[in-house]
Amino acid sequence: MVDACETMPKADTIKLRNKHIGKSCQLFYRSDPLKIVRGQGQYMYDEQGARYLDCINNVAHVGHCHPKVVEAGTRQLATLSTNNRFLHDELVQCAQTLAEKMPGNLSVCYFVNSGSEANDLALRLARQHTGRHEVITLDHAYHGHVSAVMDISPYKFNQPGGDPKPDFVHVAPCPDVYRGKYRDCDYPDGTDLGQLYADEVQRLLDRSPAGVAAFIAESLQSCGGQIIPPAGYFQKVYDAVRKAGGVTIADEVQVGFGRIGTHYWAFEPHGIVPDIVTVAKPMGNGHPVGAVVTTPEIAESFAATGVCYFNTYGGNPVSCAIANAVMRVIDEERLQENALRVGRYLLEQSRALAYEYQLVGDVRGTGLFVGIELVADRQRRLPATRAAKAVVERMKTVHRILVSSDGPDDNVVKLKPPMVFTAENADEFLYAIRECLTYLEQQQQQSSAAAPEVANTPVRVTHPLATGGILQPSPISRGQRDTSTLIKSI
């Protein structure tokens, strides 16, 4: 493998970025940004050769620079790259594979370049099919950065300086049973929280004077804090929306293609079949490609306008060759099965954190989609935003593990690693986050009023998975990894 190198010093890269890149284009770790020059599998490397475990990059779905994906893209790029108005086998094969992996009558594809474009087109399809314009979205949802989907993304328009919510957009509460409008701790065991949240959507449907064109939701809300909707929620909502004459849109941009382990698509465990599904990010493993999949009936309504849908690069041969390679790799390397197996282990072990650390309020997830919510007070479930930010920074600085935080209060440590993530990687993450949480609790004991500071010296961790502390080998059941080597390497 050829070692990647930087073409200019990091300081010069920062200067040029500050001069020529818009300030609203933000970086991870803004106080000390990483300069990544190479990726391989579940790892990324900076300009000095330091290796980082990537726990957040759902874009590199089958692993950074997967050789089969690289080869497919390189071969097609060297053969033909043009627009999609010529016949090409890669395009129709990609559509066929997507359709075969969809349930129900989802069989017609439109190819685009991004998730934003996919959701924009999905809205057009829904509005043309229903003859309506209004949309119901979920609070804290993010559906993209173009104007049409910014309008239905409270994650964006609720920020200071964001544009006001349009009148045709109706926002239903996010079905978060931990810190949402209806919390599990506020109701007796057995209460149907899915019904309570679905009733909120029904009320919006009832109040809509012109009728709703579509209900759109991420199958699992990511930017909203790794939210797992309660059982029955989507079934009840879909039934209500269809009864009212609207269509349903499942945004699978961040969570599709086997990430949840149990199923290929994250909407499937809910026992629903959407009218429109949008996919992107993981589909190209970093290459800009996405798609909208819908029913023949909705596609026919769109075609009946007589307006040609043309996307120059949507469905071009290179993009489709890469997408086909990604889907082959998922199947051949059984990455959905890996997500199920490793994800169950990761989630099970992460839930143990709540018994060890008062900071950990809730741990939730499925497959390789996990959120760890940090709270300052378990009884009141108050968000520990500063602690979450400190964990993210310390994981990078001390352990060279990349995680991020999100949610309405930015207090949820989230993991969406490449699908090649292993049990040993999970152990490495678990060991590191225990060290971070131990460090923060020690800091709180020393000064409860002071903000957590990030030091570069690891602290001792007392736990069965880390007997003897961080500078001793950890008796991990999977692989007996020597963590003293790990710590010395960082």
Each residue's pLDDT, cut to its tens digit, for the chain (490 residues) gives 445 677 899 999 999 999 999 888 888 888 889 999 999 999 999 999 999 999 999 999 999 999 999 999 999 999 999 988 899 999 999 999 999 999 999 999 999 999 999 999 999 999 999 999 999 999 999 999 898 988 888 888 777 777 888 899 999 999 999 999 999 999 999 999 999 999 999 999 999 989 999 999 999 999 999 999 999 999 999 999 999 999 999 999 999 999 999 999 999 999 999 999 999 999 999 999 999 999 999 999 999 998 889 898 999 999 999 999 999 999 999 999 999 999 999 999 999 999 999 999 999 999 999 999 999 999 999 999 999 999 999 999 999 999 999 999 999 999 999 999 999 999 999 999 999 999 999 988 887 555 555 566 666 565 544 432 332 223 233 333 333 332 222 2
Alpha carbon separation from 309 to 55, 111, 121, 132, 295 (Å, rounded): 37, 10, 10, 20, 16
Q: Which residues contact 230 (CB under 8 A, 6 or more apart)?
A: 175, 177, 192, 193, 194, 197
CA distance linking residue 183 with residue 175, whole number of Å: 9
Task: Count the Cβ atoms, other than its own, within 10 Å of residue 457.
Answer: 7
CA distance linking residue 193 with residue 233, whole number of Å: 8
Is residue 297 within 8 A of residue 93, CB to CB? The reply is no
CA distance linking residue 27 with residue 394, whole number of Å: 17
Tell me the helix, strand and coil percentages in the chain, rounded to 5.
Answer: 40, 15, 45
CA distance linking residue 381 with residue 92, whole number of Å: 50
Q: Which residues contact 7 (CB under 8 A, 6 or more apart)?
A: none
Which pair of structure tokens corresponds to residue 305?
């306008």
Which H/E stretch holds residue 172? Answer: strand 169-172
Dump the DSSP string for 323-334.
HHHHHHHHHHTT
Decide: pTM greater than 0.85: yes
Reduce the secondary structure of 362-398 to three states and give it as a string: EEEECCCCEEEEEEEECCCCEECHHHHHHHHHHHHHH
